[in-house]
Amino acid sequence: MERAGVPSVSVISSGFLKQAEVVARGLGMPDLPIAEFPGVPMTDSKEELRRKVKDVLLPRVIEGLSRPLGTAGAAQGVDAGLAPRDIVFAGTLDEVQDHFYERFWSDGLPIIPPTLDRIERFLRFTDRDPDEVLGVTPPANRQATVWNVAVNGVMAGCRPEYMPILLAVIEAIVDPAYKVEDAGSTPGWESLIVLSGPIIRELGFNHGQGVMRVGKQANTSVGRFLRLYLRNLAGFHHAPEGADKGSIGQSFLVVLPENEDAIADIGWQPYSVDRGFVAGENIVTVQSVVAISAPTYSGSDNAVEHAEIIADVIGQRACGYWTAIGFVYSNWHPLIMLSPAIAKVFASNGWSKDDIRRYLYENVKIPASRAERYTYHCGQTGFRVTDYVKQGLLPPAYHESDDPDRLVPVFQRPEWIGIVVAGDWGRNQSRGYVCNHVQGPPTSKRIVLPKDWGALLP
């Protein structure tokens, strides 16, 4: 509206002011009028809410609309004037750590100094031009390039041969469908990388016992790389000028590689095929994770008994609450990790992944009134399940009667449930990964290897 010459005012509560300023700068509109609502609206009484709107917010809105229109220019990068090969600092290892930390260029852990020599080693593992622009990283709106992918890969402790994976990861998050601009939202979600294909074995990724533990260089450093990239390019950190508004948050996640040997052994297709690719292709899929279920143990040689436990612990308890917010956004992509032993029981009983998905869809339900209550307390105060069905935003199954306590499915569509086989083959455990709805839906990209890949590998 401002670019079209129409005055506007953004109403922002106190806790979001810094984030709003970062977004405005990223849009090239640093003087965008903002009216602050003091405090936290969802914890005010109705009387206090009305008083603040009348006595505090309304005058600020009027003041903002009365100001002259600001300059709505193009988005600007914060490091204008610096070329990729410019030396930004020289010093001892300790001095480098301090310099990067003070400028919010690290995650608080020691980084590997991104020297030109180290960056060039990474660039040897791609045929792409170092200056190629992969996309833009909102809200800071900096350009994602092959060069700065290599820089952050070095800093994260990756090996040069991981470079093709790093490029595919960034291509996934700069895809507009991923909505990386929301990665700093209050739920504090993280981006989880799922890896498929022969490259898992070639580069020594762990897909077995302790798969989500730190310790394996490939899994850990690639996971750390994405978090660093989101800080340094998109601006997601908690510093005064940062865009991360995660209220509590969670620690970064390591890469989740599939156990494709186990999948082949039981006759299933890998997750990458579920995502529309051909078995044997190297694929990365990135999706948001806002919560992880409890370790879910199930013991039986009967598929139904395993499905019942997964439905109860992962479906009802881990997903039941947060899925209600997903009703508002009509988008919900939970991910379930099955250990090879659990997957084998399902397959030996004749169950496919689709059979598991269908069981969960049909058997995991919550009262409609509870879903509306959950969404209200999250700030979606006007949400009504029935209204969304009438608008075509939710399937008819959500309004089979007018009973406010009728049971409605937790999983909106069976095909939206992701299933990956990985973890300890000697234990009967599953895990659920709860996504943040329309923010960070699964986004997949092919890994493009350089022509001389085989000769380059150590």
C-alpha span between 32 and 253 (Å, rounded) = 35
Per-residue pLDDT at 247? 78
pLDDT bin (cut points 50, 70, 90) of residue 91 is very high
* H or E element that contains 359: helix 353-363
Per-residue pLDDT at 77? 40
Per-residue pLDDT at 345? 98
Backbone phi, psi, residue 348, to 5°: -70, -20
Backbone phi, psi, residue 77, to 5°: -80, 150
Which residues touch 140 (CB under 8 Å, ≥6 apart)?
22, 25, 26, 77, 78, 233, 234, 235, 243
β-sheet bridge partners, residue 337:
420, 431
pTM for this predicted structure? 0.90
Question: Domain map of the chain by residue range?
Answer: 10-66, 86-288+449-458
pLDDT at 74 over 70: no
Give the pLDDT mean for 17-22. Answer: 77
In 86-243, where do the E strands start and end? 133-137, 142-145, 190-196
Query: Tokens 């009216």 appear where?
Result: 35
Render pLDDT for 281-328 as a digit per residue (tens, 0 to 9).
999 999 999 999 999 999 999 999 999 999 999 999 999 898 877 788
Per-residue pLDDT at 237? 85
Give the pLDDT mean for 91-107. Answer: 94
Q: Are 158 and 166 within 8 A, CB to CB?
A: yes
Residue from 231, 205, 75, 241 nearest 148 by CA: 231
Per-residue pLDDT at 24? 78
pLDDT at 435 over 80: yes
C-alpha span between 353 and 332 (Å, rounded) = 17
Residue from 218, 220, 224 nearest 199 by CA: 218
CA 95 vs. chain centroid, Å, equals: 33
Per-residue pLDDT at 17? 79
Rg (the chain; Cα; Å): 24
Render pLDDT for 330-388 as a digit per residue (tens, 0 to 9).
788 999 999 999 999 999 999 999 999 999 999 999 999 999 999 999 888 889 999 99
Per-residue pLDDT at 240? 67
Angle 272-277-283 from CA coordinates, rounded to 5°: 55
Residue from 290, 321, 318, 269 nearest 430 by CA: 318
Q: At what angle do helices 116-123 and 146-156 cross, to 10 degrees?
A: 110
β-sheet bridge partners, residue 367:
407
Give the pLDDT mean for 115-140. Answer: 96
Q: Are 154 and 117 within 8 A, CB to CB?
A: no
pLDDT bin (cut points 50, 70, 90) of residue 433 is very high
Which residues touch 173 (CB under 8 Å, ≥6 apart)?
137, 180, 191, 226, 229, 230, 286, 443
Q: What does the mean pLDDT of the chain come to?
A: 91
Render pLDDT for 175-227 as a digit per residue (tens, 0 to 9).
999 999 998 888 889 999 999 999 999 999 999 999 999 999 999 999 999 99
- Token pair, residue 93, equals 């290892």
Q: 10 Å Cβ neighbour count for 146?
A: 21
C-alpha span between 103 and 239 (Å, rounded) = 9
For the chain, percent of residues with pLDDT exceeding 70: 96
Backbone phi, psi, residue 69, to 5°: -60, 140
C-alpha span between 187 and 433 (Å, rounded) = 14
Per-residue pLDDT at 150? 98
Angle 323-328-333 from CA coordinates, rounded to 5°: 45
pLDDT at 395 over 70: yes
pLDDT bin (cut points 50, 70, 90) of residue 71 is very low
Q: Are 162 and 217 within 8 A, CB to CB?
A: no
The H helix count followed by the E strand count for the chain is 18, 15
> Dihedral of the CA atoms 325, 287, 178, 453 (nearest 10)?
180
Give the pLDDT mean for 257-275. Answer: 97
Per-residue pLDDT at 76? 40
Per-residue pLDDT at 69? 62
CA 182 vs. chain centroid, Å, equals: 9
